[in-house]
């Protein structure tokens, strides 16, 4: 007996808790905070992006809290479930009382209770029942007449009962919205992951080899994923981010991209992009052609297809390969395909050439800031990033690629096809980095009068050829000493210095000279010695160019400021190539663009429920705030008339209405 009472007490307390307003408000507060987090923090990104942004510690904390996919996290869905239960119980608990209150006229009110109301007055006289009934009807009141045993007659009137409906609409709306959220949150999928039936795949393997636990059937309740389709290619699955891995979602149809369109603004920024697609039903074979544009999705079989992005679809590339280890060799022409890999043999060693994405447009701010002109490396920190500044410019096509050696070590490169003009000179730009997390470091290689690298590469080959150092040093010495009476010993010493500087520069560029200064020259003399070396090198580079041109059978450069700047820029370029870390310099010379469309596909069965719930919530709020429930009692007894009035909320309107009704009813009393 005691156990039964204890169980009854626990059940009653649990019901009281779940159906209480405070419990529901607490859940709503948590959901509101979670929604703020889900709005501020970009959701459903690959986990490496979050790890890079937040660091290892906070990445694990946020992962444990489920903040990377708030709206589909287990705790969020559990709170939604409790909120559905709580609000439903609240409706069940308070609904009968609300309905009774809406239907009731409170026609049993006594004279004493009416007299105790704030808005109550007693009139001398009497009113004919038919006139009173007509007046109440004309004022929009519904009323009920009650004849009392003491001979008194009570007219109990009311209007604005729809105000109570507002509470029903608001509470039911919360239930409907939460159910829609549970449907779109795909609670069955979360349960499948919890029990191990659904296991995200973490390996980078072909789609056809992904095991069944990582695949979701076309009948999956809810999903949102992406797929990239190249022109004249098809896809029948999408990929869903799932923690550290991904899931493959089967589609009930096949999507084929026929043509992709993109329009650009004058500065190269995308203005409009759209896809011509054909959707083929897997069961019936029915084909549905359509054009999908941004904000104009195609909805078919309950799946909405959105135009989300665009990119490279695997474009044929033409490249010119310059052998950096054997600079005297003529360049060779190579062919490749973006987003693909191929073997590459250079200087007897085998490499894997892994091409990334071809980007036809690269928007970059080329203007300076108020504090001065930005350095080139600052402006080109990430040439793919669109910065919202005034001096935006399209710097042309580029391709990224990795060169991986036999040990699996790789460096990533970003090669621009079009020259970039700076201060009137043209340069070919190439970026390099050894780690994905690091920014690209860019080098500039000067182009000759024909816009080619040939002259620079000839100069580099001569600078790196020890067999030419004696000839170059002799020419430089002769020019330097022609107007001076210098002993043969001094000339020989200067010639040896020129040869030594050339050899040191050939071995390590400017860094090689700097290393020597740090190791061999006292600190107080380094600057003076460094200036001497630089002057020797700047003087010798003219002769290096003449020797290189003569060896190639090409006429020498015109001795002017423009070409001297070319030579000085070439020294910087030759020095930078020492840190390039590649046996070849691959110059992008041409391509045949194949575009790809990024499509996002979603199935949201709860979407319409959320819309319905939002509409009901708006209606409920309008009824609660803009519809005022008013009750009016007129009690006729003897030669007296008691008028009383109340409302669900006090306002100046109630004071005014009561005064108006009192005056009108007093007039009816006098007329009687």
pLDDT digits (tens, 9 = 90+) for 504-548: 999 999 998 899 888 888 888 889 889 999 999 999 999 999 999
Share of the chain above pLDDT 70, in %: 93
Q: How confident is the model at residue 485 (pLDDT cuts 50, 70, 90)?
A: low
Q: CA-based diameter of the chain, in Å?
A: 145
Residue 651, number of CB atoms within 10 A of its CB: 10
What is the CATH code for 104-160+628-671? 3.30.310.10
Mean pLDDT value across residues 265-290: 87
Radius of gyration of the chain measured on its C-alpha atoms: 41
Distance CA 339, CA 350 (A): 20
- Residues 617/177, Cβ–Cβ less than 8 Å: yes
Bridge-based pairing of strands 425-433 and 420-422 is: antiparallel
Distance CA 561, CA 424 (A): 12
Distance CA 244, CA 247 (A): 10
Q: How confident is the model at residue 382 (pLDDT cuts 50, 70, 90)?
A: very low
pLDDT of residue 48: 78
- For the ranges 44-48, 294-298, 320-324, 576-580, the lowest mean pLDDT is seen at 44-48
Residue 7: pLDDT above 70? no
Distance CA 49, CA 61 (A): 15
> Domain extents for the chain?
2-100+168-184, 104-160+628-671, 187-221+223-313+596-603, 316-455+585-595, 459-579
pLDDT of residue 4: 52
Residue 247, number of CB atoms within 10 A of its CB: 25
Mean pLDDT value across residues 60-87: 85
Q: Check residue 583 and report its DSSP letter.
A: S
Mean pLDDT value across residues 365-378: 43
Distance CA 275, CA 261 (A): 6
Cα 516–Cα 518–Cα 521 angle in degrees, nearest 5: 80
Mean pLDDT value across residues 282-289: 93
pLDDT of residue 387: 38
Residue 269: pLDDT above 90? no
Residue 603: pLDDT above 80? yes
Average pLDDT, the chain: 87
pTM attached to this predicted model: 0.67
| Three-class SS state of 400 | strand
Helix (H) or strand (E) holding 240: strand 234-242
Cα 348–Cα 349–Cα 354 angle in degrees, nearest 5: 135
| Three-class SS state of 465 | coil
Q: What is the pLDDT of residues 166-194, one digit of tens each?
A: 888 998 998 999 888 888 887 778 778 77
Mean pLDDT value across residues 265-293: 88
Q: Which residues contact 545 (CB under 8 A, 6 or more apart)?
A: 459, 462, 556, 557, 567
Q: How confident is the model at residue 658 (pLDDT cuts 50, 70, 90)?
A: very high
Distance CA 83, CA 77 (A): 10
Q: How confident is the model at residue 270 (pLDDT cuts 50, 70, 90)?
A: confident
- Residues 189/220, Cβ–Cβ less than 8 Å: yes
Q: How confident is the model at residue 149 (pLDDT cuts 50, 70, 90)?
A: confident
Tokens matching residue 381: 């920190």
Mean pLDDT value across residues 666-672: 81
pLDDT of residue 463: 95
| Three-class SS state of 202 | coil
Residue 1: pLDDT above 50? no
pLDDT of residue 8: 56
Residue 581: pLDDT above 50? yes
Tokens matching residue 147: 């004849």
pLDDT of residue 355: 96
Distance CA 160, CA 628 (A): 5
Q: Which is higher by pLDDT, 387 or 278?
A: 278
Distance CA 132, CA 123 (A): 14
Residue 148, number of CB atoms within 10 A of its CB: 15
Tokens matching residue 666: 């007093």
Q: Check residue 446 and report its DSSP letter.
A: E
Mean pLDDT value across residues 86-95: 86
């Amino acid at each position: 007996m005691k156990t039964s009472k204890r169980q009854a007490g626990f059940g009653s307390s649990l019901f009281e808790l779940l159906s209480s307003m405070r419990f529901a408000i607490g859940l709503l507060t948590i959901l509101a905070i979670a929604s703020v987090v889900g709005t501020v923090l970009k959701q459903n990104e690959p986990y490496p992006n979050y790890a890079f942004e937040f660091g290892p510690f906070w990445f694990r904390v946020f992962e444990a809290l489920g903040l990377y996919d708030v709206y589909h996290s287990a705790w969020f869905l559990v709170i939604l479930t409790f909120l559905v239960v709580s609000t439903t119980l609240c409706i069940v608990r308070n609904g009968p009382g609300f309905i009774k209150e809406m239907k009731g006229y409170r026609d049993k009110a006594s004279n004493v209770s009416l007299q105790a109301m704030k808005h109550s007055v007693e009139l001398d006289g009497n009113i004919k029942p038919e006139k009173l009934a007509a007046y109440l009807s004309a004022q929009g009141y519904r009323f009920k007449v009650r004849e009392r045993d003491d001979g008194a007659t009570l007219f109990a009137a009311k209007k604005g009962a729809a105000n109570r409906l507002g509470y029903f609409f608001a509470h039911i709306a919360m239930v409907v919205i939460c159910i829609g959220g549970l449907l779109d949150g795909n609670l069955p999928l979360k349960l499948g992951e919890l029990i191990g039936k659904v296991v995200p795949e973490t390996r980078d393997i072909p789609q056809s080899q992904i095991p069944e636990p990582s695949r979701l059937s076309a009948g999956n309740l809810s999903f949102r994923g992406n797929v990239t389709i190249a022109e004249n290619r098809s896809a029948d699955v999408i990929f869903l981010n799932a923690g550290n891995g991904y899931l493959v979602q089967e589609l009930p149809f096949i999507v084929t991209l026929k043509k992709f369109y993109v329009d650009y603004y004058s500065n190269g920024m995308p203005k409009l992009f759209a896809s011509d697609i054909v959707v083929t039903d897997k069961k019936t074979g029915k084909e549905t052609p359509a054009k999908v544009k941004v904000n104009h999705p195609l909805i078919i079989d309950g799946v909405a297809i959105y135009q989300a992005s665009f990119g490279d679809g695997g474009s044929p590339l033409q490249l010119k390969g310059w052998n950096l280890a054997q600079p005297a060799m003529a360049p060779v022409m190579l062919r490749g395909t973006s987003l693909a890999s191929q073997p590459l043999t250079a200087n007897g060693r085998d490499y894997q050439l892994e091409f990334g994405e071809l980007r036809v447009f690269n928007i970059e701010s080329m203007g300076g800031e108020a504090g001065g002109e930005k350095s080139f490396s600052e402006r080109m920190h990430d040439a793919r990033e669109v910065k919202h500044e005034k001096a935006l410019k399209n710097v042309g096509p580029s391709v990224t690629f990795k060169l991986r050696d036999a040990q699996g070590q790789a460096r990533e490169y970003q090669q621009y096809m079009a020259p970039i003009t700076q201060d009137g000179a043209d340069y070919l730009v190439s970026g390099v980095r050894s780690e994905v997390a690091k920014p690209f470091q860019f080098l500039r290689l000067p182009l000759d009068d024909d816009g080619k690298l040939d002259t620079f590469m000839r100069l580099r080959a001569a600078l790196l050829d020890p067999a030419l150092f004696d000839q170059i040093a002799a020419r430089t010495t002769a020019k330097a000493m022609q107007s001076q009476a210098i002993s043969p010993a001094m000339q020989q010493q200067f010639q040896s210095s020129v040869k030594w500087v050339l050899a040191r520069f050939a071995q390590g560029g400017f860094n090689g000279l700097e290393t020597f200064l740090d190791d061999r020259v006292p600190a107080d003399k380094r600057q003076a010695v460094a200036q001497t070396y630089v002057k020797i090198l700047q003087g010798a580079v003219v002769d290096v160019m003449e020797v290189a041109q003569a060896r190639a059978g090409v006429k020498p450069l015109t001795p002017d400021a423009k070409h001297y700047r070319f030579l000085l820029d070439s020294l910087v370029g030759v020095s930078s190539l020492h840190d390039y870390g590649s046996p070849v310099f691959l110059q992008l010379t041409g391509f045949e663009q194949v575009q790809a469309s990024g499509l996002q596909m979603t199935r949201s069965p709860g979407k319409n429920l959320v819309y319905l719930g939002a509409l009901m919530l708006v209606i409920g709020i309008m009824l609660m705030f803009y519809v005022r429930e008013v009750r009016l009692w007129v009690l006729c007894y003897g030669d007296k008339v008691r008028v009383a009035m109340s409302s669900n909320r006090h306002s100046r309107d109630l004071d005014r209405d009561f005064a108006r009704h009192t005056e009108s009813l007093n007039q009816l009393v006098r007329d009687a």
